Amino acid sequence: MGKLKVSIKATLENVTDLRPVGDDFNWMFKLQCGSCREEHPNWVGIDATETREISGSRGEANFVWRCTLCKREHSINFDSSLDRSKAVYTAEQSEEQKFAAIAVLECRGCEITAFDPKGIWSCKGTESGTKFEEVELSLEEPDGWTDYDEKSNEPVSVMEFESKIERA
């Protein structure tokens, strides 16, 4: 509970600045209830541009979850302490096999336990600057993404994607 940060690591070949596309990227998470420890049965999608009402006029949040077991209501909000529009995973970080934070979320009453990168990401050629705007990643596709940079005549890829959730 509290603020959690989502950090990623991947092996980038001839590309840099990997990031999810759009402020309305649908972030797929696994959640766990902070009260009874029940896991949400499904992956849930959280979109920073969406708001849902918290019951009892307690305002709005990007995501609201009522635990089916203990019936408590929890909420999650993207936190502005990390500017997602500037957060990218770079070739340098990849070379050093470092994790880098790409989002911070404030979780009230629950925790995020896993992240699935499922969706469209973008990156660009490290030397060529060629833009790749349709980088599909997913836990279901552990082989990652591969393409070819026509400008630099080099293969490009995003492999070995990993993520971790930690206190921010």
Residues in binding contact with Zn ion, number by CB under 5 A = 7
CB burial string 124-141: b at 16+ within 10 A, e below: bbbebebebeebebeeee
Whether residue 143 contacts residue 42, with contact meaning beta carbons closer than 8 Å, is answered with no
Q: Which structure tokens are listed for 14? A: 């001839």
Stretch that binds Zn ion, among 64-72, 76-84, 98-106, 158-166 (CB under 5 A): 64-72
Kindly tell me which residue out of 10, 67, 87, 112 binds Zn ion, with binding defined by CB under 5 A. Answer: 67
Q: What is the DSSP letter of 92?
A: H
Kindly tell me which residue out of 44, 70, 82, 88 binds Zn ion, with binding defined by CB under 5 A. Answer: 70
Q: The tokens 């080099």 sit on which residue? A: 154
Work out the angle at residue 22's Cα, subtended by the Cα atoms of residues 16 and 27, and round it to the nearest 5 degrees.
90
Could you tell me the smallest distance in angstroms from the CB atom of residue 36 to Zn ion? 3
C-beta closer to Zn ion: residue 71 or 151: 71
C-beta closer to Zn ion: residue 71 or 131: 71
Residue 107 touches Zn ion, criterion: CB under 5 A: no
Secondary structure E strands in 38-97: 44-47, 52-53, 60-61, 63-66, 73-78
| Separation between Cα atoms, residue 144 and residue 131, nearest integer Å | 17
List the one residue out of 10, 35, 15, 11 whose CA is nearest residue 124: 15
C-beta closer to Zn ion: residue 61 or 156: 61
In the chain, the largest separation of any two C-alpha atoms, in whole Å, equals 58
C-beta closer to Zn ion: residue 12 or 67: 67
Kindly tell me which residue out of 69, 141, 150, 166 binds Zn ion, with binding defined by CB under 5 A. Answer: 69
User: 24-63 mask for Zn ion (x: CB under 5 A)?
Assistant: ---------x-xx-x-------------------------
C-beta closer to Zn ion: residue 38 or 47: 38
**Interface ranges with Zn ion (CB under 5 A):** 33, 35-36, 38, 67, 69-70
